[in-house]
Amino acid sequence: MPVPNQHIAHTDEQLLQLMACDNRDAFTELYNRYWDKTFAVAYHRLDDEHEAEEVVQEVFLSIWQRRASLKLTHTMATYLSVAIKYKVITHLDRQYRKQQHLDELAFTSHETDDSTIQWLEEKELRQRLNHSISLLPEKCRIVFLLSRDENKTYAEIAAELGISQKTVEAHMSKALSSLRQSLGISLPVLILLLS
DSSP string, 90-109: HHHHHHHHHHHHHHHHHHHH
103 or 13, which is more confident?
13
Tell me if 63 sits within 8 A of 4, measured CB to CB.
no
Tell me if 165 is assigned to some domain.
yes
CB half-sphere exposure, 111, CA atoms < 13 A: 6
Domain of residue 81, residue span:
12-100
Tell me if 67 sits within 8 A of 17, measured CB to CB.
no
Tell me if 59 sits within 8 A of 72, measured CB to CB.
no
Instruction: Please write the tens of the pLDDT for every residue from 47-57.
Output: 889 989 999 99
Sign for the pseudo-dihedral over CA of 72, 76, 62, 87? negative
CATH number at residue 29: 1.10.1740.10
Regarding whether 155 and 83 lie in a shared domain, the answer is no
Give the total number of structural domains in the chain: 2
Which pLDDT value is given to residue 53?
93
Tell me if 74 is assigned to some domain.
yes
Averaged pLDDT, 173-187: 77
Regarding whether 139 and 92 lie in a shared domain, the answer is no
Regarding whether 18 and 64 lie in a shared domain, the answer is yes
pTM beyond 0.85, yes or no: no
Which pLDDT value is given to residue 3?
42
Averaged pLDDT, 59-86: 88
C-alpha of 9 from chain center: 53
- What does the mean pLDDT of the chain come to? 80
Regarding whether 88 and 33 lie in a shared domain, the answer is yes
Instruction: Please write the tens of the pLDDT for every residue from 100-158.
Output: 766 666 665 555 455 555 655 667 777 777 788 888 888 888 888 888 777 888 899 89
Which pLDDT value is given to residue 190?
61
Tell me if 107 is assigned to some domain.
no
Tell me if 49 is assigned to some domain.
yes
